[in-house]
Chain A
Amino acid sequence: MTTPTTPTTSTTALTSPTRARLARAAGGTRTRALLRDRLALTGGVIAALFVLAALLAPLISPYDPAQADFENALAQPSWSHWLGTDDLGRDQLSRVFHGLRASLQVGLLAVVLAFVVGVPLGLLAGYYGRFADSTVSRITETMLAFPFLVLAVGLAAILGPSLLNATIAIGISQVPAVIRITRAETLRLKNVDFVAAAVANGGGDGTVLFRHILPNAASALTVQATVGIPAAIIGEALLSFLGLGVQPPEPSLGVMLSSAQSFLAAAPWMAVFPGLAIVAATLAFNLLGDGLRDVLDPRGATR
């Protein structure tokens, strides 16, 4: 029980004594490091299961998620319908599996979008400073002045409610955080010796930014991504719940919760299981993210 349970790519190249020392230095007491790793591991396993369930949804679903069966409407959980059925008699388990597809799709795409927009702006602001920095700061503040939901609502009004537009809204809402982190990392790295050396060697701005600064900002950005994915999963459920995301009859955890609201007294399982799925998925990604943060970004691991 003396070695850390989650070796990482960043430390595998080191000799094992160094690794052990690093682990000791980073983890505080060993029991706490171990506990944290276990939590991260559990989170990782559950997250992987959710990803698998989403990928294999058509194969593992016992029923067609869109197939109505009025004879069995609002059926309690049973052996034939593990999570019960909804008001149209559709199998809840199959709908949860398919709903996870929407959740993870939005989770990934929104984070990618936030990075595609936020990273270049953050590099620009951090590297060139002055005018570029204050311009990007104003852009960030303007974006922050629109609370996430107001932004999503505005976009839905302009472009129409759909899963794609919900993804765009969620992605945009995460841009300011990505800008801030990239900017802070760029500011820090700009003054580090190896970057100065690259500049002295005649490296152009592009080379310095993308060959030297960006790869070294990768771990901070990875941590941000692990925070962004669960946030986007909740965002999707929220927007679909309000009718601004996935449109019925397409399955989504948020849509399921929304239709459950009319049958709270008659069929509480309609509300309980999709919600549990969201909580479990979010919790799993958050635990995984916490573990990754401890490993990748020791400066953030003070909690």
Chain B
Amino acid sequence: MNHYLLKRLRQSLITLFLVSVVVFAGVRAIPGDPALALAGEERSPEALAAIREQYGLNDSIFEQYWRFVSHAVTGDLGVSARTGLPVDDAIVGALPVTVELALLSLLFAVVVGIGAGVIAAVRRGRPSEWLANGLALLGLSVPNFWLGIVLVLSLAIAVPVFAASGYVPFGVDPVDNLRRMVLPAIVLGSGLAAVVMRQTRAAMLDSLSADYVRTARAKGLSRRQVIGSHALRNSLVTVVTILGLQLGQLISGAVVTEQIFVLPGFGKLTIDAVFTRDYAMLQGVVLCTSAAYILINLLVDVAYSVIDPRIRLGGAPR
């Protein structure tokens, strides 16, 4: 087990290093003198020289990279050019919104996806299978930003059940918070739910025809017990893997969802940074997003090596 995890950890660290290089190089590739951007109104040669000195822009590119990384590791991501406040503070402030959104949509995707997948696999050829399959196809083909607009049209404007925009922290007013977060969570989770549904269905169909399920039935377990504790459990490895692979989409989707529902999360921070040319912010946000993504992928691998012992004992992942 340790060998496998160490190998994955090493790979993740290498990827993280490459990501930091790409982010660093990318921001330096932006046309224009960074000193000019930082200077604002004061553009005399002396002021520019002072800024270059202050921000270490005269140092070699390696020294600059090293400073960027060593500061980033301690949580210092520089100062936003737009607000003049530390980037890490803005990120910490936006994080709860995006994390709540992501968790709620994961919950939606897992509950709806696994539920519909099991139904589609167990009730083959009945109307409920067709319904589940149709919904999954729709979930895959409807872009989530349009789904968001349609849901706002129907459930926030035509029949005002939910709020269309804005954010209230859960700690301040849990009911109002959920009233505002339900639609975004559905929008963000729908595509994922469709993928989870298809995978669950395929994996369930495989396990239901496996020998051990027939054995379990033959020794007198009820159909419900067999489906729940044998077939479903063995299908979960696939589902966890798929969830891991789809997390990048979840992160991309969060950016759009937050834009539609005007939620002050990570995605809004990212888009605002682009349009206001706030490079320190952009650099920090992209670095954090990618690091989080790498970390989550690592955790997914760890999770399924725990669920399925064959992975950590067999050496090579399937």
Contacts and interface: CB of A to CB of B under 8 A. Distances in A.
A157 B30 contact: yes
A142 to B, nearest CB: 4
B270 A150 contact: yes
Contacts of B259: 242
A163 interface: no
Interface size class of B (residues with CB under 8 A): 35 or more
Given A142-B19, A148-B248, A153-B274, A265 B11 contact: no
Contacts of B305: none
A283 B290 contact: no
Contacts of B249: 147-148
B252 interface: yes
A57 interface: no
Contacts of A157: 30, 273-274, 277, 279, 282
Contact of A158 (B29, B145, B270, B273): B29
B56 interface: no
Interface in B128-167: 137, 140-143, 145-146, 149-150, 152-153, 157
A141 interface: yes
A149 interface: yes
A115 interface: no
B290 A278 contact: no
Interface size class of A (residues with CB under 8 A): 35 or more
A161 B275 CA distance: 9
Contacts of B153: 264, 268, 271-272
Interface in A123-170: 138, 141-142, 144-150, 153-154, 156-158, 161
Given A142-B19, A157-B30, A275 B149 contact: yes
Contacts of B137: 283, 286
Per DSSP, are chain A's interface residues mostly helix, strand or loop, or mixed?
Answer: helix
B293 A145 contact: yes
A150 B286 CA distance: 7
A145 B15 contact: yes
B149 A149 contact: no
A265 B29 CA distance: 43
A244 B248 CA distance: 19
Contacts of B294: 145
Interface string B8-19: 000100111011
A154 B251 contact: no
Per DSSP, are chain B's interface residues mostly helix, strand or loop, or mixed?
Answer: helix
A8 interface: no
B260 interface: yes
Scoring A147, A237, A243, A271 by chain B CB atoms within 10 A of each residue's CB, the highest score goes to: A147
A50 interface: no
B149 A153 contact: no
A149 B251 contact: yes
Interface in A98-129: none
Contact of B251 (A142, A147, A261, A303): A147
A234 interface: yes
A182 B167 CA distance: 45
A275 B279 contact: no
Interface string A284-303: 00100000000000000011
A156 B252 CA distance: 15
Nearest to B206: A302
A242 B267 CA distance: 11
Contact of A242 (B140, B251, B253, B271): B271
A271 B277 contact: no
A242 B259 CA distance: 8
Contact of A264 (B26, B152, B267): B152
Given A238-B145, A268-B153, A303-B202, A146 B290 contact: yes
7 tightest A-B CB contacts, nearest first: A149-B252, A275-B146, A147-B248, A147-B251, A142-B18, A283-B141, A147-B252
8 contacts: A141-B18, A144-B248, A149-B251, A154-B286, A157-B274, A234-B143, A260-B149, A283-B141
Interface of A: 138, 141-142, 144-150, 153-154, 156-158, 161, 230, 234, 237-238, 241-244, 257, 260-261, 264-265, 268, 271-272, 275, 278-279, 282-283, 286, 302-303
